[in-house]
Chain A
Amino acid sequence: MDWRGLKSHLTDLLKKLPVDYADVRIEESEISSLQFRGPEIESVMETISFGGGVRALSNGGWGFASFNSIEDLQSRIDHACEMARVAGERRNEKVELAPVEPVQDTVEPPEGWNPAGVSLSDKINLFADYNRIILNYGGDIVSSSVGYGDRRTRLLFANSEGTCVDQTKIDLQGGIAAIATRGSDTQTGHVSFGSSADYSVTQGLEDEVTDACETACALLDAQMIQGGDYMVIASPRMAGIFAHEAFGHLSEADDLMEKERMREMMKLGRRFGGEILNIYDTGLTPGARGYLPYDDEGVPASRADLIREGVLVGRLHSRRSAARMGEEPTGNARALSYRHPPICRMRNTCIGAGEASFEDMLDGVKKGLYVVTPQGGQTDDEMFTFMAGKSYLIEDGEVGPMVKDVTLTGNVFQTLQDIDMVGHDVLEWESAGGCGKGEQSPLPTSEWAPHIRIQNVVVGGESE
């Protein structure tokens, strides 16, 4: 691919289009991945993904066309403009995009050990070693799942305002699971890692893998959680998922901008929690999977404070939502790939450090739950759930026996008020997988947080 020729060609094409605004993304990714399931390697593969997407805006109507063949570029640009024109005729209103200074830039990945420099056989040997630790562990461990994948992407963004950003990105991630079975019960223990820069995060995981085996076996012996209300201490990893599910999604402004009552509910200045509570989203943490020097509208990264000292101070914007709500763009317009138009998404969503220690949090807890390893979460903006693998009961201020099958739920507004302690121990944790919204999943995100304590959380389980 002649990227330099493409850049000037694109800039020319975009100059003279019969629409209010247009942008083009051209993306090429080289992806390699491997997966062990039990003693066998289940798949090893290399794939190349190439394609582009064109977005055009006319009279408030959008058109979007995606394609695989670069020869289709001109015809897809024309098609997107035509669709925008048709949509705009029906919609017929002026739609503003928040102004952004046009920029020409080239972006390389952050410093680090580039996975592209590691041979496929070295990667396989490394993960085969981790797989062997699980399979040789013994006890009730019957199988394993060890997966790794990396992706190197060249992404060219250009718009009709003269912005042209040429980025090279890295994303790597993996998940290691130990599977224990006894009779009809199966439990798993997990190790998860990720980075936007550095293959070295794959190294030295032996002790964590052994821990995952211990966890899987211990969960077989753990008692089932009794459903009901609990005082909950969330580990940094669980607290990160909580921030993402319970507040991050609600802050995505494209879902708010046209809904009057939602805007009322999310009015800046509203108090959401105690003064100890700070939540922000940032694209400025190199190495995090949510690192995003430019978003998919060519907006440079920033830090968006969402809750400062308990008060709502900002949200996650695209250029469209920022203009609609009269606020500044934050660089949160992201697309899963060239196949999709950008929408408001999270990057690295963090809970700011507080002052409490873990011991402070345990102090005085009569009946509580310490949730340690996350297994996912979901929200509908008002309610959220998140699922925990390893959890412990807390009895009279002490961490007690392990329990299993823990699903927590809550009302976002109530639960944020119920956070009564924030730890000083922020964990800069990266994991595999990603975030889903609509059809666009999984998008790499990060969640950094300390331990937090929440007064009153509903936990699902057998009723008495």
Chain B
Amino acid sequence: MTSPYERQAEIVLELAARRADSAEVWCADSERIPVRFEDNKLQMLEASSSTGIALRVIADGKMGFAASTRESSEEDLVEMALSTAQFGTEVDYEFPGPDQYPVVKTYDPAVARLDADTMTETGEAILEKILHHESDVDVNVSLNRGVGRARLLNTSGVDMTGEGTSASIVCFATWVEGDSLLRTGDVLGSQFMYEDPEQVAERIIEQLDLGRRPAQISEGKYPVIFGPWVLGDILRPFLASVDGDAVAKGFSPWRDRIGEPVADERVSIYDDGLMHGGLATAPWDDEGVPSQCTPLVENGKLQNFLVDLRNAARLERPPTGNGQRGGLSSPPGVGTSNICVKAGERPHYEMIASVDEGILVHQLMGAWGSNPYGGQVSGNIALGFKIENGELVGRVKNTMLYLNAFDAWQDQLIEISSDVRQILSYRLPHVALDGVSISAQG
């Protein structure tokens, strides 16, 4: 795969270098072929190819940015970037030069070889398995295969090209009875080929079986076990607080707390840019800084903030390889790579067996909207199961969950599971927290 922009990249860099103090060109191509099943039937085959070029310049000490997916002239792009640099942020760092980069596998030929026919068959197998067990549900499956390539060049001498693959399966099943809806879902996603796609169907069947049975819980405080899929909501205040930008601006509650305990000593959390198969894994970040595994919280103590080049300079800390682009048309900013939580002692089913009365939560609705810097996590339990005497008995509904993540990780941790699940750019266990507030419509 070659893009018209790869040939343009060097010309753009050379033109920009003549008129600016320094410059950086990023060009990316990708080809995705989603296969979509909707309502138990094959709906659409897709092919999406995208390509484009982004330019950053530092001129008179100020940063400018321009990007294009139109085949326009090199001069125009340089002109656009320079015009924004007049007003841009003042910069006291330089684009990085060549460095030692970790060797990490990001490309799986088996994924690159995946075609629409094979994915259609996989989707049909998942559908059949679910419908065989649960004939009265509507199932959507979307399978996707991506192959991408990005080249980064700058005037400090960097010229690197990286290639990556991604394979994912997203499946949702809807069951309706009267005015009651049950939505269960599961996701597989990695840079590498999935081995057992039908596990998606198995997990959905398990949730559908349990979800059809209603269970009641009254208002109060309970032990709650959070599944890997929902744990991101409970980690959100932590990740917002280690964001170097929030630290530099003075509104991260952890801005002065490096080395201090912020969680139970069994809690260790990492930003791992090298996680095997993780969707964010790469040898370098989107600014050309080597990727690494950064401890955020280790044995309960705050270890590091995540920074891009700009915030590394502001905070006078070494860069952590967290300069991420949201896409071709966004300049790099601080972003997490792959987030991992260290596993605990016992498998999650033993944790469930130890709970007398509580809830296992798989999905929260709206918890992303709470104020992260205050630690509040508040959401509707979109999918959660009541635990009674160590057994899952049925689904709880019309129920709100509330906790303060800063307090909960520190003082309310019961335990962390020994089993972890890798999903997209996360590798997460089940986590049990005590004294979680539950409000229900009474």
Q: Which residues of A contact B116 (CB under 8 A)?
A: 83, 86
Contact status A339-B439, CB under 8 Å: no
Is A41 close to B, CB under 8 A?
yes
A389 to B442, CA, bound (A): 25
A187 to B398, CA, bound (A): 28
Residue of A68, A143, A188 near B49 (CB, 8 A) is A68
Mask of B85-111 contacts with A, CB within 8 angstroms, 1/0: 111111000000000000000000000
Q: Which residues of B contact A142 (CB under 8 A)?
A: 249-251
Is B72 close to A, CB under 8 A?
yes
Q: If the complex has contacts A48-B72, A49-B69, are A143 and B44 also in contact, measured as CB distance less than 8 A?
A: no
Q: How far is the CB of B320 from chain A (nearest CB, A)?
A: 19
Quick one: which of A201-234 are within 8 Å of B by CB?
A: 227-229
The main secondary structure of chain A at its interface with chain B is: strand
Q: How far is the CB of B54 from chain A (nearest CB, A)?
A: 8
Contact status B87-A124, CB under 8 Å: yes
Is B331 close to A, CB under 8 A?
yes
Mask of A33-50 contacts with B, CB within 8 angstroms, 1/0: 010011011111111111
Is A66 close to B, CB under 8 A?
yes
Contact status B44-A45, CB under 8 Å: no
Residue of A69, A91, A227 near B42 (CB, 8 A) is A91
Q: Which residues of B contact A413 (CB under 8 A)?
A: 179
A229 to B398, CA, bound (A): 12
Is B238 close to A, CB under 8 A?
no
Q: How far is the CB of A169 from chain B (nearest CB, A)?
A: 17
Contact status B48-A382, CB under 8 Å: no
Is B389 close to A, CB under 8 A?
no
Is A61 close to B, CB under 8 A?
yes
Is B160 close to A, CB under 8 A?
no
Is A393 close to B, CB under 8 A?
no
The residue on A at minimum CB distance from B40 is A258
A50 to B245, CA, bound (A): 32
Q: How far is the CB of B8 from chain A (nearest CB, A)?
A: 12
A143 to B120, CA, bound (A): 50
A347 to B220, CA, bound (A): 40
Contact status B369-A375, CB under 8 Å: yes
Is B299 close to A, CB under 8 A?
no
Query: How many residues from A make CB contacts under 8 Å with B?
Result: 86
A68 to B63, CA, bound (A): 27
Is A394 close to B, CB under 8 A?
no
Residue of B44, B71, B87, B369 near A62 (CB, 8 A) is B44
Q: Which residues of B contact A91 (CB under 8 A)?
A: 41-43
Is A90 close to B, CB under 8 A?
yes
Q: Which residues of A contact B333 (CB under 8 A)?
A: 42
Contact status B402-A460, CB under 8 Å: yes
Is B183 close to A, CB under 8 A?
yes
The residue on A at minimum CB distance from B144 is A439
Task: Flag the segment in B150-158, B288-296, B376-384 that touches A.
Answer: B376-384
Q: Which residues of B contact A276 (CB under 8 A)?
A: none
Is B258 close to A, CB under 8 A?
no
Contact status A179-B89, CB under 8 Å: no
Contact status A405-B371, CB under 8 Å: yes
Contact status A409-B371, CB under 8 Å: no
Contact status A458-B87, CB under 8 Å: no
Mask of B332-369 contacts with A, CB within 8 angstroms, 1/0: 01000000000000000000000000000000011011
Contact status B251-A339, CB under 8 Å: no
Q: Which residues of B contact A62 (CB under 8 A)?
A: 43-45
Quick one: which of A337-392 are within 8 Å of B by CB?
A: 339, 341, 375-387
Q: How far is the CB of A150 from chain B (nearest CB, A)?
A: 14
Contact status B47-A65, CB under 8 Å: yes
Residue of B48, B64, B369, B402 near A339 (CB, 8 A) is B48
A382 to B178, CA, bound (A): 11
Q: Which residues of B contact A83 (CB under 8 A)?
A: 44-47, 116
Quick one: which of B50-102 are within 8 Å of A by CB?
A: 50-52, 63-72, 80-81, 83-90
Residue of B49, B249, B366 near A409 (CB, 8 A) is B366
Mask of A313-356 contacts with B, CB within 8 angstroms, 1/0: 00000000000000000000000000101000000000000000
A188 to B401, CA, bound (A): 23
Contact status B48-A463, CB under 8 Å: no
Residue of B40, B71, B80, B250 near A143 (CB, 8 A) is B250
Is A186 close to B, CB under 8 A?
yes
Residue of A46, A183, A265, A385 near B176 (CB, 8 A) is A265
Contact status A463-B220, CB under 8 Å: yes
Mask of A82-108 contacts with B, CB within 8 angstroms, 1/0: 011011001100000000000000000
Q: How far is the CB of A62 from chain B (nearest CB, A)?
A: 4
Q: Which 7 A-B pairs have the closest CB atoms?
A: A385-B366, A186-B373, A50-B70, A258-B39, A460-B400, A387-B369, A227-B439
